Structure 1
């Protein structure tokens, strides 16, 4: 029988989390059973997994350090236990996302940057080659979006929040929340620098705050959740130009909700029929139906059963969703109807303080 594990990064330096917690996942019931912990890491805020090669990567997110770290681990496929390989500097501050290229040979670190202006190294994005043993080589490319070393001029403050490789692995799209832009790079190979694509950026309305991005399984449509103006934007991907063309923008919160809200995560179901986003303030998961064109229509909202749902993840079967409520409530487990996309609270909880990110891995 295959082993499925959920790996959870927790905020343990300025929170009550413990590091990386590993749970055995029962795909029939949705139950999580503690398997192991990796404690010798500070604030592993974002995790990325390479199931095929049985490796996990964690972003160390510490705003007080000018340089944060990307950390590589081996995964024991029988127990889920992590063993340390190595770490490298991300060449920037407050590392909040890690993303692979499509073959899984390169990993990209995004730096939110809260360090003082002018503090070095100050990069918004850095690229690392992955060694044969799963470890990370030092960054072979990096770029800033502001200041003297900026790759593209801006008077705003950079806040890189995620980097996503295009489905054809030709381009790298970096959501910069501070600049209200998605910066488009030619996807670099080892030894190359980061160079702007022919269509160098997508400009969002002032104060939108593009945060996270995902592609439809068909590779032709991209979805972006905007943290600050609480919307979801839909784009057509033009592979010939490396360009994102806006199709649609919809709100992520009800019209009558007037309290403070910020958006966080976005994810699409494996069949491409449903899109989800998380609201921190409204404390909900918003659901959309996806039309054959890729455009979306609002389905509704499901309470996250906690405070500050920073991240959520659909399990490999597609029948459950786990929601990481960073500010209170731990992990909430929802049953997901694969035909309608509806989420139903199972009442099951994992009392884990300050969960930041959940990823699944199935082995065997």
Structure 2
């Protein structure tokens, strides 16, 4: 989408508590993927994860704080402007959000819940959530899995279901959003202690890949939209050697043509390239490359490039991807203190 004023835009979330400037706007070069910072807007604490409305007119951000909130911004030619005060989500530490069915959905890590906040016709947020779905359960990891920790929520490719990934309970939940209510359809158990963090769907709509934070792996699953069921098939490591104690995978994306999957791993500070085989049912580790910074929190693919938000080194790096091998080659970087994610307008 071309923003008013010419050229494409990227929006970058950051942690203000760690020195981030809020929501940053960057211009995207017409070729090569180079980013140039053109402005920022603050006023919302820790807008770490962002999502655009389908028409690109609004930008939404979690406020990843103990109180937990979501904020709406109106997109103009060069930046984004806050469109009203943040709305509480009734849960703590929201880490992810998506737009679906006239609502903004948030995954609340701290409280282990998912919230649906209704949208007004003009894209602004209604003053209160319509639904809060609490997760329950725990996992074997003594420190990280004492209770539920919802880390991601998104619609499935068919638009029928809401899928939430819970690191604390080693499970994925499938829900229906009906009249503003989130209704649990089924819960799918993954390997105990794996710590699932994020899920991405293959373009074929019948496979999904879950990146696991506590065991550096990706779980390959079969997805059946007709029945709303997810079936784990296999688990593939994202590192060739035994991981260090602080190796925590974070982001995962799949190529638009479905041939490759990429992940980012914090601590090791690498991007992993996985080839998709057997019509999506199998992944094979091709190799890893340095992420260009420290503590890569999120990974985005756009127009032939991978973009990495490196939280602790305070930058966003980008890589051109070789179309045949899937291997990334570094293109450049911009400084964004406490960078957390990148979305493209």
TM-score (norm 1): 0.86
Q: Which of 125, 142, 145 lines up with 2:114 in the alignment?
A: 125
Residue 10 of structure 1, CA deviation: 0.9
Looking at structure 1, the residues matched to 38 and 58 of structure 2 have their Cα atoms a distance apart, in angstroms, of 17
Tell me, yes or no, if structure 1 residue 276 matches structure 2 residue 273.
no
Alignment of 1:341-352 (within 5 A): 341-346=326-331, 348-352=332-336
- Kindly tell me: are residues 21 and 276 of structure 1, through their superposed partners in 2, closer, same or farther at Cα, counting changes over 3 Å? same
Looking at structure 1, the residues matched to 32 and 164 of structure 2 have their Cα atoms a distance apart, in angstroms, of 37
Looking at structure 1, the residues matched to 272 and 72 of structure 2 have their Cα atoms a distance apart, in angstroms, of 33
Residue 288 of structure 1, CA deviation: 0.8
- Equivalent residue number for residue 38 of structure 1: 41
Aligned to 2:340, the other structure's residue is in SS state strand
Tell me, yes or no, if structure 1 residue 195 matches structure 2 residue 195.
no
Tell me, yes or no, if structure 1 residue 12 matches structure 2 residue 16.
yes
User: Runs of at least 4 residues of structure 1 off by over 6 A?
Assistant: none
Structure 2 unaligned blocks of 5 or more: 138-144
Q: Which of 268, 290, 296 lines up with 1:309 in the alignment?
A: 296
Kept in 2, the 8 Å contact 1:253–1:282? The answer is: no
- Equivalent residue number for residue 98 of structure 1: 97
Aligned to 1:44, the other structure's residue is in SS state coil
Q: Which of 99, 102, 107 lines up with 2:104 in the alignment?
A: 107
- Equivalent residue number for residue 334 of structure 1: 319
TM-score (norm 2): 0.91
- Equivalent residue number for residue 152 of structure 2: 162
Kept in 2, the 8 Å contact 1:74–1:85? The answer is: no
How many residues get paired? 332
Tell me, yes or no, if structure 1 residue 248 matches structure 2 residue 241.
no
Aligned to 1:188, the other structure's residue is in SS state strand
Kept in 2, the 8 Å contact 1:35–1:81? The answer is: no
Looking at structure 1, the residues matched to 31 and 84 of structure 2 have their Cα atoms a distance apart, in angstroms, of 33
Aligned to 1:328, the other structure's residue is in SS state coil
- Equivalent residue number for residue 71 of structure 1: 71
Residue 345 of structure 1, CA deviation: 1.2
Alignment of 1:281-300 (within 5 A): 281-291=267-277, 293-294=279-280, 295-300=282-287
Looking at structure 1, the residues matched to 226 and 203 of structure 2 have their Cα atoms a distance apart, in angstroms, of 18
Tell me, yes or no, if structure 1 residue 88 matches structure 2 residue 87.
yes
Looking at structure 1, the residues matched to 159 and 35 of structure 2 have their Cα atoms a distance apart, in angstroms, of 35
Looking at structure 2, the residues matched to 146 and 289 of structure 1 have their Cα atoms a distance apart, in angstroms, of 35
Kept in 1, the 8 Å contact 2:59–2:80? The answer is: no
Aligned to 2:62, the other structure's residue is in SS state strand
Looking at structure 1, the residues matched to 231 and 169 of structure 2 have their Cα atoms a distance apart, in angstroms, of 18
Kept in 1, the 8 Å contact 2:172–2:189? The answer is: yes
Kept in 1, the 8 Å contact 2:40–2:79? The answer is: no
Residue 301 of structure 1, CA deviation: 0.5
Aligned to 1:293, the other structure's residue is in SS state helix
